[in-house]
Structure 1
Amino acid sequence: MTQPGIDAADAASPRRIRIRTCVATRERHSDEKLLRVVVDPEDFTGRRLLADPKRRLPGRGAWITPQLSALETAEKRRAFPRALRLSTAVDTGHVRTYLAELADGPDIVRKTEH
């Protein structure tokens, strides 16, 4: 039985809002506003971090506000090793590249006539 005013399709698949905490700013947001970061499952050293925007990679994840300033704060505070339960230094190069591309926006190719 559905509640009045709620469509049967909406009642069958409710979307839960998951609240996560940014490891850099310590602010709480819905998981849709944060970027998940995980240890690269193919890195045998366990140091390389990957951006996981689709939230599909295996393993424990850390959440960060998708801004370069938040990444720098997290690096300064050594937040990733603590959140991911690592005892080694981490390589955030992939995450930095992802955030830089995100900040730049999509490449726009414009043709100019001469």
Structure 2
Amino acid sequence: MVQVVPPSERRSGRTPVRTCLGCRRRAEQAALMRVVAGDQHGPGQGWDLIPDPRRRQPGRGAYVHLTPECVTVAIQRGAFGRALRVPGRPDSTALMALLGQ
């Protein structure tokens, strides 16, 4: 006999978990900042890291703790490019401005 669980009971108690690109620790999605790649400079001229605090921007997203340490380590290792599947180094001005640096 197959037991069917209503959708309202299937998700009770579960929260999405993501991995921080900087420290590589897993945390609840609400504790991390979603970042997407934006082509602000035109084709072939690079790309920007755009913070997405509401998690509504289209495209592939990557998650990072909103601390200078995690963001800096992720940028130095090139983790944003790999996670977002975009070649080259990003312009992290918008993300650093959000950190207050």
Superposition TM-score tier, normalisation by shorter sequence: 0.7 to 0.9
Q: Could you tell me how far apart the structure 1 residues matched to 2:13 and 2:64 are? A: 22
Candidates 29, 41, 58, aligned match of 1:31: 29
Q: What TM-score results when the alignment is normalised by the length of structure 1?
A: 0.70
Q: For this pair of structures, how many residues does the alignment match?
A: 91
Q: Which residue is 1:18 aligned to?
A: 16
| Structure 1, 40-49 or 87-96: larger mean CA deviation | 40-49
Higher strand share: 2
Candidates 38, 42, 45, aligned match of 1:44: 42
User: Is 2:40–2:47's contact at 8 Å kept on the other side of the alignment?
Assistant: no
Runs of 4+ in 1 over 3 A off after TM superposition: 13-16, 41-46
| Structure 1, 51-60 or 35-44: larger mean CA deviation | 35-44
Q: Could you tell me how far apart the structure 2 residues matched to 1:41 and 1:57 are? A: 13
CA RMSD of aligned residues (A): 2.2
Q: Which residue is 2:79 aligned to?
A: 79
Between the two proteins, what is the percent identity of the paired residues?
A: 34
SS at 1:83 equivalent: helix
SS at 2:24 equivalent: coil
The letter of the residue matching 2:82 is R
* Higher gyration radius (CA): 1
Q: CA distance change for structure 1 residues 17 and 43 in 2, over 3 Å: closer, same or farther?
A: farther
SS at 1:48 equivalent: strand
**1:18 positional shift:** 0.2
The letter of the residue matching 2:60 is R
The runs of 5 or more residues in structure 1 that have no matched partner are 1-9, 102-114
User: Is 1:47–1:90's contact at 8 Å kept on the other side of the alignment?
Assistant: yes
| Structure 1, 32-41 or 58-67: larger mean CA deviation | 32-41
